[in-house]
Structure 1
């Protein structure tokens, strides 16, 4: 893991994805963006494709993906359901069999504050979709990531990770009462720990990993929230218009996608990995950051990252080693 401290980025909270990638040539590189046809994922896809990369967007709803991505060049839609292990495996197998190196993987798909639901194996849905689904995907794509000779895996976490750590004694809420925000915080902490664990394993193969907080942006991610819950985020002004105030972490979709694109493509991050980012910069530990910014101690704990990695291998039955064979 690189040191969790700012590196002197020339970008900030108000920067957009297009600004971050300006002047960067990604021609000849292939990127995969999960959730690349909704919310921040669309703007991530648009920016990376605009820089010349070929973008593969996995989609559960192909018709919606085609509508949303219409007009964006260099984009290919492939079938995949992040909640279905067989679908993830089939997608990854197709990519690896095609022999195309994957230089960028942005894990942008996710769900937030959902009612209690479980996957086919009984795992709580936010942890299963946001973490285990992407764990399976990275394991399946491992040969293609290594083949790129310098790949980056970017996991969209959230400041919501500050809600709490991974509860290893009851991840799936079998004994504790289900709380949708505790579950979301746990899943977002898992995203950060996953980047830490992946970078530890991937650095020697040229695969570096990052996690990030994109900002507060009203997207379909909030579809399970009540009107009162949405209003509590202060996302609307007195006239009912969506508020954009990056200094208060209230961002446009283009600003919200900027940190993902920054972590995926900027050369100043060469040789760095395992860090949590925000506002197009490596974040400070929470105790050193102003206000409520920064990364909580439990989300940058290497022991917790290792514990989560071993548990994830057991829960999914996949590993980087098995994918390489």
Structure 2
């Protein structure tokens, strides 16, 4: 908003979104609109996409798929019956991007998907994404799977957007002091230690980032002029290209994930 862009802020609670806008300096707040969005309900996603389209107009320069849920202690489900973490973090964002396709598939538009170094926590089980076929549920394994799906989605999305001149990236924002560390999930020392113990980059994660620092890589992926087509589908951390897990470069895996996601969404919404 400070740069003069009109911003559509999505929030599960419209009241919370409006309160966030009210906290901004007056000149910035005038350029921020609020759309209600619950990523754990695909009907809400569809309604939000219509509202966003009305507010944003025919073109969305930067679509930032930022929301998420992390490490729910037990297996829960979305409104449509998907495992809650992959359903919210991947399926909800996938559907939103799909519904806004005509507005983001335009020359020089960018879609930025928030993934995480947590994509290394667990593999993507295409035949059991929702832990319904005997796979033991793990809070961090499920979170890691959802973040891997985000990264794979961004790479495949970038490929499919290429003919339009648009691009897509994924980012690892870092460990940020946000409400993801809610009281019911942490931020107890043991909970956070459990998170860190999964990560082989432990020394780099001992210091949290502020919200501003955490947003920096997302803003970079949106605005950096040097990100031409040679960076298509890139994964960023600390405002630099980073190397994801080897499996994230598998074109068959990301294509299959795309097709399975499409099919499962179509099945629950038919």
TM-score normalised by the shorter chain: which range applies? 0.7 to 0.9
Aligned-pair CA distance for 1:197: 0.7
Counterpart contact for 2:36–2:48, Cα < 8 Å: yes
Distance 2:150 2:205 in 1: 25
Q: 1:315 and 2:267 equivalent?
A: no
**Does the 8 Å CA contact 1:113/1:225 hold for their aligned counterparts?**
yes
User: 1: CA distance between counterparts of 2:15 and 2:40?
Assistant: 18
Match of 2:150 in 1: 191
1:261 maps to 2:222:
no
1:221 to 151, 157, 180: 180
What is aligned with 1:69? 21
The gaps in structure 2 that reach 5 residues or longer are 197-202
Residue 162 (str. 1) matches residue 120 (str. 2): yes
Asked whether 1:119 is paired with 2:78, we answer yes
* Alignment partner of 1:137 out of 96, 105, 130: 96
Q: Are 1:54 and 2:6 an aligned pair?
A: yes
Q: Residue 40 of structure 1 aligns with which residue?
A: none
* DSSP 3-state at the match of 1:117: coil
Q: CA 1:91–1:179 in structure 2 vs 1: closer, same or farther (change >3 Å)?
A: same
TM-score computed with the length of structure 1 as normaliser: 0.72
Q: Show the counterpart of 1:323.
A: none
Deviations 1:213-243 (A, max 9, x none): 11111211122424133452899xxxxxxxx
Q: 2-side partners of 1:145 and 1:247: how far apart?
A: 33
CA distance in 1, matches of 2:206, 2:216: 16
Q: Specify the alignment match of 1:270 in structure 2.
A: 228
RMSD: 2.2
Residue in 1 aligned with 2:200? Answer: none
Aligned-partner SS, 2:47: helix
Aligned mate of 1:86, from 43, 49, 54: 43
TM-score under structure 2 normalisation?
0.86
Contact kept, 8 Å, 2:35 with 2:51, in 1: the verdict is: no
Moved segments of 4+, more than 6 Å: none
Structure 2 counterparts to residues 10-21 of structure 1, below 5 A: none
* 2:129 match: secondary structure: coil
Residue by residue, what CA displacement relative to the aligned partner does 1:76-127 show, whole Å, maximum 9, x if unpaired?
A: 0112221221221122234445643101001110000013111233210000
- Larger CA deviation: 130-139 vs 218-227: 218-227
Separation of aligned partners in 2, 1:185 and 1:151: 28
In the alignment, does 2:113 pair up with 1:180? Answer: no
Which of structures 1 and 2 has the larger relative contact order (alpha carbons within 8 angstroms, sep 6+)?
A: 1
Deviations 1:137-174 (A, max 9, x none): 0000001112x422101011111101122111221111
Give 1:252 shift: 1.4
Distance 1:158 1:234 in 2: 12
Give the whole-Å Cα distance in 2 for the aligned partners of 1:247 and 1:182.
Answer: 18
Superimposed CA distance per residue, residues 36-94 of structure 1 (whole angstroms, 9 cap, x where no aligned partner): xxxxxxxxxxxxx1121110012221111122222241110112221221221122234
